[in-house]
Amino acid sequence: MRLSVFSLLSIVCFLGCVDSTFTGGKSFAQVESSRASKSSAQQSNARESKVSEESHSKYNKLTDFEKYVLLNKGTERPFVGNYTDTEDAGTYICRRCNARLYRSDQKFHSNCGWPAFDDELPGAVTRVPDADRLRTEIVCSNCGGHLGHVFLGERLTAKNTRHCVNSVSMVLIRKGDPIPPTIKKKPKTGNDQSESLPKK
């Protein structure tokens, strides 16, 4: 009976974490295919949007898949992330800006397929209700990069909270290794129209 309840909890966690981009929306491969088939008019728009991307060059350079997750709110597939089952001691920082997000002692095994934490470092994570109001997105408070979603009331830990985070959104700095300085967000100016994240 205990095994059945545990299996049910794992299924609920998995379904809760899966984004529309993984189930019903565009996959990363589909997004890339769509980009490859842009018309010349769309390419012109892309050149204009490049100005926005270049304004973020002060942040760490991202691969196409990292951009897909952090900037376009995509989701990596379950059980494949580098940190899903990692138990190494250290600090998890934002891949985009190096801001400290979680300590390793806040991480736990939820069996949902993604790294799970029951708390964050003070002020590190901002909660944003999804448009459908069914879930709550979590983003890096410093750069706005997409981390994942937060779920309450699952009774998986004493804090009754689960941050379901994409491994690709973070970097683990192991205990004893130097933590790189946070790349601070520049304050907006009247001439800067590029601080908002690219839309889907």
Q: Which of 88, 105, 92, 83 is nearest to 159 (CA)?
A: 105
Over residues 11-36, the mean pLDDT reads: 51
Q: What is this structure's pTM?
A: 0.72
Give me the pLDDT at residue 82, please: 96
Pair type for strands 170-174 and 125-129: unpaired
pLDDT tens track for 94-132? 999 999 999 999 999 999 999 999 999 999 999 999 988
3-state SS record for 40-71: HHHHHHHHHHHHHHHCCCCCCCCCHHHHHHHC
Out of 17, 97, 112, 164, the active site residue is: 164
Which domains occur in the chain, in start order? 2-174 (2.170.150.20)
More confident residue, 114 or 7: 114
For residue 3, give both structure tokens: 């095994």
Give me the pLDDT at residue 55, please: 44
Stated as kind and residue range, the H or E segment containing 170 is strand 170-174
Distance set, CA 111 to CA 6, 181, 194 (Å): 9, 32, 38
C-alpha to C-alpha distance for 9 and 11, rounded to whole angstroms? 5
164 catalytic, yes or no? yes
Tell me which residue has tokens 């892309």. Answer: 46
